[in-house]
Structure 1
Amino acid sequence: MKENSIIVGLDIGTTKITTVIGEIAPGGTLDIIGQGSVPSEGMKRGSVVNLERATHAIRQSVAAAERVSGVKVGSVFVSVAGNHAKAITSHGLAAIRRNQEIAQPDVDRAIENARAVPLDPNLEIIHTLPQEYVVDGQEGIKSPVGMHGVRLEVDVHIVAGTAGPLLNLRRCVQEAGLKVDGFVLHALASGLATLEALEQTQTVIVIDMGGGTTDVGVFKRGNLAHSASIPIGGEHVTADLAQILKIPIEEAENVKRKYGAALPELADQDLTLEITTASGSTHAISAFELSRIIKPRIAEIYGMIRDEIDQALGPVELVAQTVVITGGASQLRGSAELARDRFRLPVRVGRPRGIGGLSDIVSSPAHAASVGLVLYGIGEDGKVPDMIFEGMDTGQQGTPAPVSAGNGTLVTAPVAAPVPSNDGGPVIPPAKPDPTALPKKDKPSFGERIKNIFKDWV
């Protein structure tokens, strides 16, 4: 655990910039003592597009958190999102002399050998995350120090970012008067904040749905084993509404948050909205029709995630046991139910866990990454000390768990696999395959679906 008791996370997103200040309490637990969120400026899809405006927004966010905490911020852990981050898994090997125990230098040597892979000179390594170790063919070893063997192997997940975007991000933070303690992959931070104890023993897909990007992390037994970024997020849903309804972006965002749903059947069937277009004309649209515009874009995001995992690791249903969705856009009603339909796996909405202090302020999915940055700062190699999460309710295997019935109510249903606690939101069970569903190659494209929706609406 870090000696410094104050850890600060700076989540620089496309739609908002959030600063979270955490303090390690005497008992080893984490208290959130400051938080500041401001609208993002100068950022697009995880990259800086305007240095001056991005720096100004960072200053505002940090200042807001400082006012709440009474603490002066000097250094921060910064999130990295967007498709400029690349990840590979590399294998490392170290020979051990006979009749000698494996020591930490031997572990370091195996990891260093795994890092010795040819990378594009334009890439900067962000993370070197060891997976499980293998000693003389014995797999599944988490800590080999002290064991006997002659052959130590390790798989390491290496995350690297393009040097240009990282330099721009670092410059913005430094010009705001701050030091960068380290860059942290957005998906890793979200997983650290939301994965529960039982999920640490499974393979779990964590989907952080942000404004400009959707970041994906596949965690195997608590280790980040695969990561990717989808260049579509919640702001694209807002843009669809603004384009089709002919209204300003700000009004489209407000309509989406208040009345939108990812599944039309979950929309308020009796609600009709009066929309005033940019030209001044007015027309009516039901909440059901509004959700028919939203659903194709959310379904497209899930489809791209599924394609990414299918190609990299194999069929989603065989790779993972659970899906956790988090981030601001995951709060859209029906997002979890639609994810269940697309992935055919149990789905829940992930919220930050294991925190005290201002937990009510940062307990929403929108703060998962910023809280995760603080947790990363406490631990090492992407691991959070167990004492942080001591005393947390982890649920019981094989016991009934509340699940969504699809109509806004909760029902009790048996489960066969370990079920996360309700603190992270209700678990949505996988749907049964629909025999009438079109094969993937016969499904209409996103553009065709939007045209059909617009035709029906008119």
Structure 2
Amino acid sequence: MKDNTIIVGLDIGTTKITTVIGEVAEGGTVDIIGEGTVNSEGMKRGSVVNLERATQAIRQSIQTAERVSGVKVESVFVSVAGNHAKAITSHGLAAIRRNQEIGQTDVDRAIENARAVPLDPNLEIIHTLPQEYVVDGQEGIKNPVGMHGVRLEVDVHIVAGTAGPLLNLRRCVQEAGLHVEGFALHALASGLATLEAAEQSQTVIVVDMGGGTTDVAVFKRGNLAHSACIPIGGEHVTADLAQILKIPMEEAENVKRRYGAALPELADQDLTLEITTSSGSTHAITAFELSRIIKPRMSEIFGMIRDEIDQTLGPVELVAQGVILTGGAALLRGTPELARDRFRLPVRVGRPRGIGGLTDIVAAPGFAAGVGLVLYGIGEDGKVPASIYTHRGEEPRGSVPPAPQSVPGPADLPAPTPVAPPAPKPEAKPTQNLAERIRGWFKDWM
């Protein structure tokens, strides 16, 4: 634990780049004293595709946060997302001499043995995160130091990234005049910022819904036990709207945030929008119909997450006790309700908690990873510092809290002109193919 110091998180995403500056006070409490968010440039699905543009966007984000905080940033913890991040769980074993206590060197030896697995030489290890320990067959041990036994075992979650994308990220940060203090998996950081005390004794799925990707982390009793990346995000929903409605991406994003819903029955049944296409023609579409374009893509995202967990860990309903949705795309109306239907588990929207300072700015799902990077910088072994829960004033509870009402997007964006509403239409029965569904619903429109 680091006290009385500055920790900076740099969350580099497909649609935005966010810098969060945290000040760690004595006792481990964290105040957010600076924040800078700019539109992302030169990034696609977690990887750099244009070094110059990505570097410039990083520099702008850092400078914005520096102006707010009055602090000069020199080093940062950087988020890693995308399909180039790979994860495996490895088993390690260490023999203990009879009549001797288990020491830290024995623990380190077991972890090192778990790390000694053949990996692609093109991979660079980002995290080595110990799970629970086993001493002479006794499971569920958090810290074996000081115990007696002759056989120490540990499962270690190893996260590695492809060397090329990591080198490109590091170069962009260095070109912006910064030192990379460490990389952290995007979904891990989001979990550190949003997990509640009650969830430390459960298995919880954290789903960070970004623009280009959706990052998934399974936390088992507070430890990262599984991670994956789904190559679809909120930007794909926007692209569907732009394609079907024949409007620019910017306007499609605006329409999605203001009037869209992941479940058509939760859309405004009395609202019709007048849409002007790129060719200049004008059409009317109800909010109900708009949401029928959105739902298949959102369902596809949750379906892919479910398939990933079902195939790797087992049926979702038997593996986890709850789901936390975070990231900017989680704010779309009806998203928690759709996720609850697909996973058949309690679902809530996760926001950064247990922090002080600029809470009115960063206490939103889109800042979870940025705040989590700060917490990662002051924690150990990828765990939330205990002082954070103390600051939150949380007491362990027996179940995951019910999901709160999701919050719509910014209300001050320019919007299409509403016109007189028609009667709402019943939702069409979905078919197997996403494109066929959309074409069937909007045959007349297209």
Fold shared per TM-score above 0.5: yes
**Residue 375 in structure 1 maps to residue 375 in structure 2:** yes
Separation (CA, whole Å) in 1 of partners of 2:146 and 2:5: 30
Separation in structure 1 between the aligned mates of residue 265 and residue 445 of structure 2, nearest angstrom: 16
Query: Would the alpha carbon gap of residues 425 and 391 (structure 1) be closer, same or farther in structure 2, given more than 3 Å must change?
Result: farther
Contact 1:395 1:418 in 2 (8 A): no
- Mapped to 2, the partners of 1:233 and 1:340 lie a distance apart of 18
Give the whole-Å Cα distance in 1 for the aligned partners of 2:395 and 2:270.
38
8 Å contact 1:350–1:425 — kept in the other structure? no
Checking the alignment, whether the CA contact within 8 Å between 1:81 and 1:229 is kept in structure 2 is: yes
CA contact (8 A) 1:212 1:236 kept: yes
CA distance in 2, matches of 1:34, 1:324: 26
Aligned-partner Cα distance in 1 for 2:39–2:166: 21
CA deviation profile, 1:282-325 (whole Å, cap 9, x unmatched) = 11111111100000000000000001001001111111010111
Q: Given residue 136 of structure 2, which amino acid in structure 1 is its aligned partner?
A: D
CA distance in 1, matches of 2:182, 2:245: 43
Residue of structure 2 equivalent to 1:7: 7
Match of residue 75 from structure 2: 75
Alpha-carbon spacing, 1:457–1:393, altered in 2? closer, same or farther (3 Å): farther
Structure 2 match to 1:408: none
Partner in structure 1 of residue 399 of structure 2: 418
Query: Any idea what SS the aligned residue of 2:371 has?
Result: helix
- Alpha carbons of structure 1 residues 40 and 265: separation in structure 2 relative to 1, 3 Å: same
SS in structure 1 of the partner of residue 164 of structure 2 = helix
Residues 206 and 175 (structure 1), Cα distance of their counterparts in 2 relative to 1, 3 Å cut: same
The change in CA–CA distance for 1:175 and 1:226 in structure 2 (over 3 A counts) is same
CA distance in 2, matches of 1:396, 1:267: 36
Which one is further off, 44-53 or 100-109? Answer: 100-109
1:392, distance to aligned residue in structure 2 (A): 2.7
Distance 1:186 1:138, change over 3 A: same
For 1:269 and 1:389, locate their aligned partners in 2 and report how far apart those are by CA, in whole Å.
42
Match of 1:445 in 2: 433
Greater Cα shift, 95-104 or 214-223: 95-104
SS at match of 2:31: strand
Q: Deviations over 1:398-442 (max 9, x none)?
A: xxxxxxxxxxxxxxxxxxx5133x8x8459xxxxxxxxxx9xxx9
What are the ranges of 5 or more consecutive residues in structure 1 without an aligned counterpart? 398-416, 428-437
Q: 5 Å matches for 1:242-261?
A: 242-261=242-261
TM-score (norm 2): 0.93
Identity between Structure 1 and Structure 2 (%): 83
1:306-358 Cα shifts (integer Å, max 9, x gaps): 01001001111111010111000000000000000100110000000110000
Aligned amino acid, residue 189 of structure 2: A
Q: How does 1:117-128 map to 2 (within 5 A)?
A: 117-128=117-128
Distance of 1:245 and 1:256 partners within structure 2 = 12
How far, CA to CA, are the matches of 1:107 and 1:395 in structure 2?
A: 30
Shift of residue 126, structure 1, vs aligned partner:
0.3
Q: Provide the residue aligned with 2:46 in structure 1.
A: 46
Query: Which secondary structure state, in structure 2, belongs to the residue aligned with residue 360 of structure 1?
Result: helix
Residue 355, structure 1, aligned to residue 355, structure 2: yes
> For residues 89-128 of structure 1, what are the structure 2 equivalents within 5 Å?
89-128=89-128
One-letter amino acid of the counterpart of residue 92, structure 1: G
CA contact (8 A) 2:352 2:371 kept: yes
1:210-289 to 2 correspondences below 5 Å: 210-289=210-289
CA distance in structure 2 between the partners assigned to 1:449 and 1:354 by the alignment: 43
After superposition, the C-alpha distances for 1:109-150 in whole angstroms (9 at most, x for unaligned) are: 100000000000000000000000001111000001111111
Structure-to-structure mapping, 1:34-183, within 5 angstroms:
34-183=34-183
Report the Cα distance in structure 1 between the residues aligned to 2:227 and 2:106, rounded to whole angstroms. Answer: 27
Rounded to whole Å, the distance in 1 between the matches of 2:291 and 2:311 is 30
Q: Residues of 2 paired with 1:99 and 1:4: CA distance? A: 42
Separation in 1, partners of 2:444, 2:124: 49
Counterpart secondary structure, 2:35: strand
Deviations 1:169-210 (A, max 9, x none): 000000000000111000100000001000110000000000
Q: What code does the residue aligned with 2:118 have?
A: P
Cα deviation for residue 457 of structure 1 reads: 5.2
SS of equivalent residue, structure 1 residue 361: helix
Letter of the 2:435 counterpart: G
Confirm or deny: 8 A CA contact 1:92 1:156 kept in the other structure: yes
Residue number in structure 2 paired with 1:407? none
Q: Is the 8 A contact 1:29 1:387 kept in 2?
A: yes
Give me the whole-angstrom Cα distance separating, in 2, the residues matched to 1:311 and 1:23: 41
Amino acid at match of 1:103: G
Please name the residue that 1:323 is paired with.
323
Aligned letter for 2:251? E
Q: What root-mean-square deviation, in Å, do the aligned CA atoms of Structure 1 and Structure 2 show?
A: 1.7
User: How many residue pairs are counted as aligned between the two chains?
Assistant: 425
Q: CA deviation at 1:396?
A: 7.4
Separation in structure 1 between the aligned mates of residue 256 and residue 26 of structure 2, nearest angstrom = 43
For the Cα contact (< 8 Å) 1:32–1:358, is it kept in 2?
Answer: yes
> CA offsets per residue over residues 218-249 of structure 1, 9 Å max, x none?
01000000000000000000100000000011
1:99 CA drift (Å): 1.4
Contact 2:3/2:25, CA 8 A, preserved across alignment? no
Please give the secondary structure, in 2, of the residue aligned with 1:345.
Answer: coil
Checking the alignment, whether the CA contact within 8 Å between 1:263 and 1:291 is kept in structure 2 is yes
Cα shift at 1:455: 2.3
3-state SS in 2 of match to 1:372: helix
On the 8 A contact 1:351/1:425 being kept in 2, the answer is no
Aligned counterparts of 1:393 and 1:385: Cα–Cα separation in 2? 14
